[in-house]
Amino acid sequence: MTRTTRQWQAADAAHHLHPFTDFKSLAERGSRIIVRGDNIYLWDSEGHRILDGMSGLWCVNVGYGRKELVQAATHQLETLPFYNSFFQTTTQPAIELAELLAEVTPPQFNHVFFSGSGSEGNDTVVRLVRRYWDLMGQPERQIIISRHNAYHGSTMAGASLGGMWGMHEQGGLPIPGIAHIEQPFWFDHGQGYTRDEFGLMAARWLEDKIQALGPDKVAAFIGEPVQGAGGVIVPPATYWPEVQRICDRHGILLVSDEVICGFGRTGNWFGCETFGFRPDLMTFAKGVTSGYIPLGGVMVGERIARVMIDQGGEFQHGYTYSGHPVGCAVGIANIRLLQREGIVERVRDELGPHLAWHFGELADHPLVGEVQTCGMMGALHLVRDKATDERFPSRHEVGMVCRAHCFANGLVMRAVGDRMIVAPPLVMTIDQLDEMGALIRRCLDLTLGDLQGRGWL
């Protein structure tokens, strides 16, 4: 730590290509260097304290500096830092975490396939879905339907399942056998309908797509219960139950990508419980270890697991770090912590409603067009004219203007276009939530003044 911030930034720009980053502009401006975390706060190399409204990257759900997780990792590193789970071997932490996951996930899930991340988990989903239909004697069921503006990771399969056109353009994606429908985003696509009407409409886009492709060609539908990276887009209550009915009617597998929604974020253990559907596969990562160490995986429902186990034959798929013992040890400690402290119930009964109250108050701010929350996630859509919901021209990058004011005032808030989002740690106190609410209002006011000064309003 003897280097100055500028020296760290120069070394960073000289050697490190960052994910989802414009390398040229990063080199010009220098990155912000985070040096320490405690509870819900971060400190940068200049000594600024920042309230982490995004839980790192939607993952540090139990906050920074939890000794229980550090001790679990240390103990496992000392005992057995690595062994694999290929070829009929395994480790105790992998067994125990599998058992614990079967306990906390919905009843149809008794098996898990481990990966190192959410993206890898979704690669595994593609492999599992295709293997299942092969074993069922329906190999022509190949197509997985997803949605525009979905995020399912950044590997070739993950990015293909995702609906981010920018990612597709740079990778020659999607890979074959993946189709997309429009997202259930009322504020963009549903005005003129009630939210419930729109939810049914958006679900029926799935029916239309299935009919267009041929029901016997469609293998699965995948979605995030709430789209996270797409901008915390909370679907109408009518959406998921209708999607479930459509999948059931055609025998299509239903996949819930719970990488963000899992482990308490929405106020239940899993997002599918909050929205009332029953997936056959469930991807997880991020919150399973609260981000302390990489780990991901796929919960495999009885419908699929039974066929794969009973029919036999090797599943030709796996990762060196599938079931990594240190990752699993941290996962166990993290889940025990969530259980012991009743964190999921607190999100449901106290924190989620309080965040919703704060966002409700922010809805009257002149810049705010739409407000949505779900558990400990929230979105504020910035608009130019509140009366008509007129948006700002995208070239103004108003979300980035607001985000800069947030950082300058000690708050991490993410901008997805002009939609400002938060997903703070699940261990906040009510006072800390109030502190965040006040910070958000101050930053919105500063943004308003800034935009007026630029003549953009």
Which position among 226, 229, 298, 406 is part of the footprint of ligand PLP (CB under 6 A)?
A: 229
Is 151 near ligand PLP (CB under 6 A)?
Answer: yes
Is 123 near ligand PLP (CB under 6 A)?
Answer: no
| DSSP assignment letter at 170 | T
Distances in Å between the alpha carbon of 426 and those of 106, 344, 415, 423? 21, 8, 20, 9
Identity of the residue, 246 or 261, whose beta carbon is nearer to ligand PLP in the bound complex = 261
440/303 Cα distance (integer angstroms): 45
Which of 5-13, 207-215, 257-265, 378-386 is the region at the interface with ligand PLP (rule: CB under 6 A)?
257-265
- Please, are residues 326 and 68 in contact by the beta-carbon 8 Å criterion? no
Show Cβ contacts of residue 157 under 8 Å, excluding neighbours closer than 6 positions.
119, 122, 123, 125, 126, 175
Which of 149-157, 234-242, 301-309, 324-332 is the region at the interface with ligand PLP (rule: CB under 6 A)?
149-157
Task: State CA 435 to chain mean position distance.
Answer: 24
Is 118 near ligand PLP (CB under 6 A)?
Answer: yes
Which position among 119, 142, 238, 268 is part of the footprint of ligand PLP (CB under 6 A)?
A: 119
Which position among 56, 199, 225, 228 is part of the footprint of ligand PLP (CB under 6 A)?
A: 228
Identity of the residue, 152 or 358, whose beta carbon is nearer to ligand PLP in the bound complex = 152
Which position among 52, 123, 224, 280 is part of the footprint of ligand PLP (CB under 6 A)?
A: 224
Q: Longest C-alpha distance within the chain, in Å?
A: 68
* Residue number closest to ligand PLP, CB atom: 118
Residue 37: exposure state from Cβ atoms within 10 A (0-12, 13-18, ≥19): middle
Peptide bond into 366 cis (omega under 30): no
Which position among 55, 76, 117, 124 is part of the footprint of ligand PLP (CB under 6 A)?
A: 117
Cα-Cα-Cα-Cα dihedral sign, residues 269, 257, 201, 192:
positive
Please report which helix (H) or strand (E) contains residue 420, including its range. strand 419-422
Is 207 near ligand PLP (CB under 6 A)?
Answer: no
Is 262 near ligand PLP (CB under 6 A)?
Answer: no
Is 414 near ligand PLP (CB under 6 A)?
Answer: no
For the bound state, the minimum distance from the C-beta of residue 118 to ligand PLP, rounded and expressed in Å, comes to: 2
Measure CA of the first residue to CA of the last residue in the chain; give whole Å.
44
Is 375 near ligand PLP (CB under 6 A)?
Answer: no
Please give the residue ranges that form the binding site for ligand PLP (CB under 6 A).
Answer: 58, 117-119, 122, 151-153, 224, 228-229, 257, 259-260, 285-286, 296
